[in-house]
Amino acid sequence: MKDLAGRVAFITGGGSGIGFGIAMCAVEAGMRVFIADVRADHLDDGLAKLRAAGAEAHGMLVDVADPAQVERAAEETIKVFGKVHLVCNNAGVSIFGPMDAATAGDWRWIMGVNLDGVINGIQSFVPRLKLHGEGGHIVNTASMAGLLVGPNMGLYCASKFAVVGLTLSLRYDLAPHGIGVSVLCPGFVRSNIHEAVLSRPKSLGATGYPVSDAEMKRLDGVLSVGMAPIEVGTHVIAGVRENRQYIFPHAEFRDELNAVHGELMAALPDREPEEARMAVEDFRRQRRAEAAKLIKNF
């Protein structure tokens, strides 16, 4: 989707952080924007800044973990703008610590926002993208933690690995409809994602990862060295225009990704594959190649 001027973008978590950076860059590209956020203060601040920049912007309070709320946001987007072309399923939360310390509520919270939020966006917006027949693009925000793991990252990595997998498959599914799909995998960004615990629903119960004021201040310092959200947004808009499969804003992961690739290749058995099983895999590869040809055509 190279020509963005006059088109409509819907962005979750759009009031601050990466979502707001994407929204500002979409506006600079001539798009009209609808932002959704779970926090009223972030939503109001984001809308004020977008409008001050001359944007045609609208917004709505949305908990992306609730499919009914996402569906209402989709309906409102169409009501206000008539169509939607770019959907950024971006809202996310994070908690870190030993996986065995997690409560059931911790799992429901992080998977509900990070994974179900993406699924809900797909369910509500893909039919609407198909309906107008003008093509479009979906960007799902995962993380480098969707490709690289480490200690105390189990819940977060589980949610982000899932987003990477579903996004890469969705890319093939939507290619026949002229709809591009990308997965955004950022590293550290100057955002307030650590404040997400402040809007965690009380109905999810106690957490195994209580965050002290001192820890919040420490996280403020860690994130302060992150990439500016507006810079991430420029990578996203470029990725949409070029229909990239992966959008990697951060260069500092090159060596680590190379090492992981090497570990994967080294783990394969050193023998010839079974012919009968190869026939099955060749059929899968053929279907993927056919879909890939469609992707290259738009």
Active site residues: 156
Q: How many Cα neighbours within 13 Å face the side chain of 264? A: 8
The CA distance from 199 to 40, in Å, is 10
- Rounded Cα gap, residues 101 and 110, in angstroms: 14
Contacts of 99 (CB under 8 A, 6+ apart): 152, 154, 155
8 Å CB contact between 1 and 136: yes
Q: Chain-centre distance of CA 111, in angstroms?
A: 13
Q: Using CA of residue 264, residue 268, residue 272, residue 278, what is the dihedral sign?
A: negative
DSSP conformational letter for 11: E
